[in-house]
Homo-oligomer: A and B are copies of this chain.
Amino acid sequence: MIEKDIKKLSIAFLGAGNLAVNLAQSLYRNGFEIVQVYSRTEESARSLADKVKSEWVTDLKKVTSKASLYIVSLKDSAFMELLPQIVEGKNGALLVHTAGSIHIRIWEGKTDRYGVFYPMQTFSKRREVNVKEIPFFIEAARKEDAELLKAIASVLSDSVFEADSLQRKNLHLAAVFACNFTNHIYVLAADLLKKYDLPFEVMLPLIDETARKAHELPLLEAQTGPAIRYDEHVIREQLEMLSDEPAMKEIYRVLSENIQKRSQGK
């Protein structure tokens, strides 16, 4: 499969959320043809369709049956509910979903050519990401479809892997930790600073350095702070400082204990 050929694919998007917007735009800019965007809400459908010069529909029954690749990027619950309608009349086309958390077997027996096209990144409105550096994880029922999806992903990104559903589910779970939980921890730090009239911005060099260290040092060597030093005096005092913040206190306790356990190889 050469690049000239894969660009002849006609692609339909089902879903127009943050992931779909970033992915569809990247495909469009790399010369792929997006023929249609479906979203339940007109605003989302129209907005993404404008960006990628495609048609848009808000009625699932009006989704084209002529696309060669359908990229389904709906909320997990909506996807499962709408699946019977999604596959209807798409015989011969390749259907993929983009969710890290959904097993490939969800498609089994419903259509012939199916797979997963999972870009592991955090997508927000008002922020475009650099797709070139996003790792894509590919899985497909047929070997030739896996090759096709890998070829497409390789146009968009320098980092393309095959991963089975168990691996991908665990990638997604690891991402929940490294991204969603990390961001929440920033929220907790920001709450604390606000309480003492300190701007959150002072935290940014530390946040950046913590991320940079993950590139350069083994993570256990990069670990600093009272827990890893077994500085019980500071730990006790900090728990006390959180006595009117029970949730933060609980998070502090659980994480500090686990830092110490993990440093002992437990």
Contacts and interface: CB of A to CB of B under 8 A. Distances in A.
Interface of A: 18, 75-77, 101, 120-127, 129, 133-135, 159, 161, 163, 166-167, 169-171, 173-190, 192-193, 195-198, 200, 202-211, 213-217, 219-229, 231, 233-234, 237-238, 241-242, 247-248, 250-252, 254-255, 257-259, 261-262
- Identical subunits present: 2
Contacts of A231: 75-77
Contact of A223 (B171, B174, B187, B206): B187
Nearest to A170: B196
Contact of A247 (B203, B217, B261): B261
A40 to B, nearest CB: 15
Contact of A184 (B134, B170, B200, B259): B259
**Interface residues of A, dominant DSSP:** helix
Given A183-B219, A219-B190, A251-B255, A213 B127 contact: yes
A195 B169 CA distance: 12
A224 B261 contact: no
A177 B171 contact: no
Contacts of A262: 184, 187
Top 10 closest pairs, chain A to chain B, by CB: A180-B225, A174-B189, A211-B211, A178-B189, A177-B189, A135-B202, A170-B196, A179-B210, A133-B205, A174-B192
B198 A167 contact: yes
A62 to B, nearest CB: 27
A258 B101 CA distance: 21
Given A76-B234, A127-B213, A206-B120, A185 B196 contact: no
B241 A250 contact: no
B177 A121 contact: no
A189 B174 CA distance: 4
Contact of A122 (B127, B206, B220): B206
A205 B184 CA distance: 18
